[in-house]
Structures are given as C-alpha cells and as structure tokens.
C-alpha cells in the first residue's frame, strides 16, 4: 500500500494542486466542489502502517477518521 502525504509545509497538497489548476484555467475556487473517499481499513491494518505525519485513514473498525501525527494515530473528533 502506498502512503501519499496529504500535507506539505502545513498546506494541504490537494489545495495546492487545485489552486494551480484553477489559476491555469482562469477559474476561481468559488463554485468548485470536491470530495475525497477513503476506503475503510481495520484498526489492525492502521496500526501496522509506518508513522508518517499527515497520513489520513478511515478506520472501519472505529468508524472514525484518523490522522497520523508522526508520533502515532489520533482520532479526528471535529473538522
């Protein structure tokens, strides 16, 4: 399983990419809707992953979104 970092320099990478695409096309971010679907993994699978800061997973055992802080996993309690 490949681990793709979602943040770089404390900025979401998808936002950086989206902004560059919008700028190139002359569009603004207003009116653009996007979503991200994470396939669920078990708590056991999550705990077997390397600690890579910024990694997001959907823990299907807990039914919660979890993020890696570089020191371990934390459950996201609010957005």
pTM (two decimals): 0.57
pLDDT in tens, 18-73: 666 666 665 555 555 566 788 999 999 999 999 999 999 999 999 999 999 999 99
pLDDT at position 28, please? 54
At 12, list the tokens: 């979401």
What pLDDT shows up at residue 42?
97
Q: Is the dihedral of CA 51, 56, 61, 63 positive or negative?
A: positive
pLDDT of amino acid 45:
96
40 vs 1, 6, 9, 21, 33, CA distance in Å?
13, 17, 27, 29, 23
pLDDT of amino acid 59: 96
């Amino acid at each position: 399983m490949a681990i793709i970092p979602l943040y770089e320099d404390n900025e979401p990478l998808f936002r950086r990419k989206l902004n560059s695409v919008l700028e190139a096309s002359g569009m603004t971010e207003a009116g653009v809707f996007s979503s991200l679907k994470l396939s669920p993994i078990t708590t056991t699978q999550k705990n077997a992953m390397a600690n890579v800061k910024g990694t997001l997973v959907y823990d299907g055992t807990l039914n919660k979104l979890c993020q890696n802080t570089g020191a371990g996993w934390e459950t996201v309690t609010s957005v």
